């Protein structure tokens, strides 16, 4: 069988995820559909921060054929069961967006029932045991072979550089070619297709399909093919991140949190990602409201005196997407195709999704246009789904303590799709039907520039987040507080906990060990409690 040549330009997490996934998906069961080569520049520094994921990462690991324990050891991995949002609503609060929740059968009225109660217990704590399991610092898995009575969904925290290296070793052992050289020229034909790339060593690398994984530089899509960047920074104002690592040997807080923390600060928010040997911190902020020096000082003060002399770095970014991510015979994956701040840990997910879509729409013939049309549409829809969801975290805040938080609340900072959703949900809380054909009153019908001939508006298909996740954020941020008083009065019954949640919590206390103890016994993480 004739196979196609795929050339991935650029390494890092995006490049090696694409290489590993495509090789596993296309070359299996004794057949070979693609010869995959990755060319990686020795000159381009890699951005290495702690990376948080969502449960979709487990699909990639399963397809690639990765053993979970081996993977976690290789990437300093820890479990992630939730995102804990701190100080987003009033400035002295928190709520969770967990991965597991109880769904009432046969009719899930848990959200409506909570709205009709006095809301004295946070909504997600009534339908999920994971917020309390996280607060107790417990692993989602017991030690030993006996599974937990109620399986909990989880993802991972990992060292992004080690993840790329791990996938590189895994992929090259399974037939992916690896070239360590710097691409200096891209040959584009009159038909708009890339014919070859030339490296510093003088090699001319030809392929049928080219994948641009060169990050914000976008060597192929922007510089060679001239594909425009659609700026979305008017809805997400942050454009910088101050990053820092706090090694456990330097300061161990006494635990390894089984969740990602996103704490709102004066001009943005700070991630805290726990790994086996360090905690990764990153203050995502807007340069219009705080200088880089002041942001660094705020991050150090937030972490504490032990952070005073730790190294830090500044990462610049821009929020937006390529007008098209598949043009001719070139596909952009990762930062070359777009970026949204990692408030919901979607960076690796969007890279993974692009690889999955390419494998699913892999062109067997020489006409790529139909496949490109569909992939561009799907990935554009998913980009705007993520954009809406993250925009929502900001616009629902009730904070007014700094200029930044005053600004993000303004109507002009809420995109029109999200405005339509929120206005509709102020009349009827979110439900599954809202994602069947999501076009609400007032929703814009402006084309999203997903490619020639596609003049449709973006549609949220709930491909990533359905009504359950919207409930987590909306009710965590006190949405419909005033409306509930008007609808149901102020003398409402006490909030109840579902018995399933109580049973799961009781079992968790008996069966699940502290997260750091699981990591010590299952993975060999050093016992920093003894050395602290």
Angle between helices 347-360 and 57-64 (to 10 degrees): 50
* 447 burial level (CB within 10 Å; 0-12, 13-18, 19+): exposed
Q: Give the bridge partners for 264, in sequence order.
A: 269
DSSP single-letter state for residue 319: -
Measured CA to CA, the distance from residue 351 to residue 481 in angstroms comes to 37
Which ranges in 283-398 belong to alpha helices (H)?
292-303, 347-360, 369-395
Q: Cα dist. 281→78, 93, 161, 303 in Å?
A: 15, 20, 16, 9
Reading the block at residue 15, the tokens are 């490049």
Catalytic member of 80, 141, 419, 421: 80
Of residues 177, 175, 174, 130, the one with CA closest to residue 154: 130
Active site residue 80: yes
Which of helix, strand or coil describes residue 489?
A: coil
Reading the block at residue 108, the tokens are 């899930």
Q: Give the bridge partners for 51, in sequence order.
A: 158
Helix (H) or strand (E) holding 316: strand 312-316
- Distance, C-alpha 270 to centroid of its chain: 15
Per DSSP, which regions of 160-267 are E strands? 177-180, 183-188, 194-199, 204-205, 209-212, 229-231, 240-247, 260-265
- Which sequence positions are flagged as catalytic? 80
């Amino acid at each position: 069988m004739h196979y196609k040549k795929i050339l991935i330009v650029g390494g890092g997490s995006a490049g090696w995820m694409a290489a590993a996934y495509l090789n596993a998906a296309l070359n299996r069961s004794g057949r070979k559909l693609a010869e995959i080569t990755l060319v990686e520049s020795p000159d381009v520094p890699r951005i290495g921060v702690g990376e948080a994921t969502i449960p979709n990462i487990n699909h990639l690991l399963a397809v690639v054929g990765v053993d979970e324990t081996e993977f976690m050891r290789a990437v300093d991995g820890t479990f992630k069961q939730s995102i804990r949002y701190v100080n987003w609503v009033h400035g002295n609060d928190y709520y969770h967006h967990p991965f597991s929740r109880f769904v009432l059968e046969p009719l899930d009225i848990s959200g409506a029932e909570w709205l009709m109660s006095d809301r004295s217990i946070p909504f997600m704590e009534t339908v999920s045991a994971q917020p309390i399991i996280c607060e107790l610092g417990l692993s989602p898995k017991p030690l030993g072979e006996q599974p937990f009575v109620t399986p909990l969904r989880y993802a991972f925290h990992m060292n992004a550089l080690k993840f790329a290296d791990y996938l590189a070793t895994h992929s090259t052992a399974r037939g992916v070619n690896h070239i360590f050289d710097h691409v200096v020229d891209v040959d584009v034909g009159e038909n708009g297709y890339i014919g070859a790339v030339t490296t510093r060593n003088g090699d001319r690398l030809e392929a049928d399909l080219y994948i641009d994984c060169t990050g914000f530089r976008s060597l192929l899509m922007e510089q060679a093919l001239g594909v425009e960047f659609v700026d979305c920074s008017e809805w997400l104002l942050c454009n910088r991140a101050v990053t820092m690592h706090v090694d456990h040997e330097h300061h161990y807080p006494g635990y390894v949190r089984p969740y990602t923390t996103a704490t709102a600060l004066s001009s943005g928010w700070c991630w805290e990602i726990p790994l086996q040997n360090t905690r990764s911190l990153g203050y995502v902020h807007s340069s219009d409201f705080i200088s880089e020096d002041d942001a660094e000082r705020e991050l150090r003060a937030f972490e504490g005196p032990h952070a005073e002399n730790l190294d830090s770095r500044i990462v610049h970014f821009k929020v937006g997407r390529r007008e098209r991510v598949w043009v001719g015979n070139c596909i952009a994956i990762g930062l070359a195709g777009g970026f949204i701040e990692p408030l919901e840990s979607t960076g690796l997910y969007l890279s993974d999704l692009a690889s999955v879509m390419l494998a699913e729409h892999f062109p067997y013939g020489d006409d790529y246009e139909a496949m490109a049309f569909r992939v561009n549409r799907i990935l554009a829809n998913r980009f705007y789904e993520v954009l809406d969801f993250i925009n929502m975290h900001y616009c629902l805040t009730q904070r007014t303590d700094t200029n930044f938080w005053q600004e993000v609340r303004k109507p002009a900072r809420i995109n029109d799709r999200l405005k339509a959703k929120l206005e509709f949900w102020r009349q009827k809380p979110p439900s599954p039907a809202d994602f069947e054909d999501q076009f609400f009153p007032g929703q814009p019908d402006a084309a999203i520039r997903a490619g020639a001939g596609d003049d449709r508006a973006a549609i949220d298909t709930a491909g990533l987040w359905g009504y359950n996740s919207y409930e987590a954020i909306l009710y965590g941020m006190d949405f419909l507080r005033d409306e509930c008083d008007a609808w149901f009065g102020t003398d409402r019954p006490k909030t109840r906990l579902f018995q399933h949640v109580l049973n799961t919590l009781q079992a968790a206390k008996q069966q699940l060990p502290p997260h750091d103890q699981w990591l010590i016994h299952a993975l060999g993480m050093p016992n920093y409690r003894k050395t602290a």
